[in-house]
């Protein structure tokens, strides 16, 4: 839900906030008129170790999960990045084995070549193996 003026925000920022509020109101009104309203919440789980003990409270079979990772980090520090990705995938699998998971690679602009992008893809495929069946995958026919 979009609310309030941001402290220290410029007039332009507050104008954008007003547009977002209007957009949200229009969507809610349209959904309620059509009777097809879907309620959802987006949660950003703390990636720091101090929050790991709380995962069992929030990772449930009723969720859909998005694992966001830095593709440049995967290339520059593959051991640590693979461990981190594997941790999250294992945590979701343990607490919500049937819940769908989407993986989103960021910093595409920092991946310098098609070769590097293929390397990222190979690393992700290696991490996934056959252990994470709930990860949503592109159909290879659509990605060519």
Phi, psi of 77 (to 5 degrees): -135, 65
Beta-carbon-side half-sphere exposure of residue 66 (alpha carbons within 13 Å): 8
Confidence of residue 6 (pLDDT cuts 50, 70, 90): very low
- pTM exceeding the 0.85 threshold for the entire prediction: no
Which has the minimum average pLDDT: 22-31, 52-61, 74-83? 22-31
pLDDT of 38 > 50? The answer is yes
Dump the DSSP string for 18-36. HHHHHHHHHHHHHHHHHT-
Whether 3 has a pLDDT exceeding 50, the answer reads no
The band of 25, judged by pLDDT with boundaries at 50, 70 and 90, is: low
pLDDT at 97: 86
């Amino acid at each position: 839900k979009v609310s309030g003026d941001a402290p220290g925000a410029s007039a332009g920022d507050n104008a954008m906030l007003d547009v977002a509020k209007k957009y949200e109101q229009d969507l809610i009104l349209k959904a309620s008129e059509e009777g097809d309203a879907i309620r959802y919440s987006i949660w950003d789980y703390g990636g720091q170790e101090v929050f790991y003990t709380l995962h069992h409270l929030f990772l449930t079979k009723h969720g859909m999960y998005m694992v966001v990772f830095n593709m440049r980090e995967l290339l520059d520090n593959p051991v640590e990045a693979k461990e981190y990705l594997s941790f999250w995938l294992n945590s979701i699998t343990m607490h919500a084995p049937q819940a769908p998971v989407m993986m989103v690679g960021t910093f595409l602009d920092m991946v310098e070549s098609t070769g590097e992008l293929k390397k990222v893809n190979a690393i992700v495929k290696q991490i996934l193996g056959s252990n994470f069946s709930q990860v949503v995958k592109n159909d290879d026919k659509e990605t060519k």
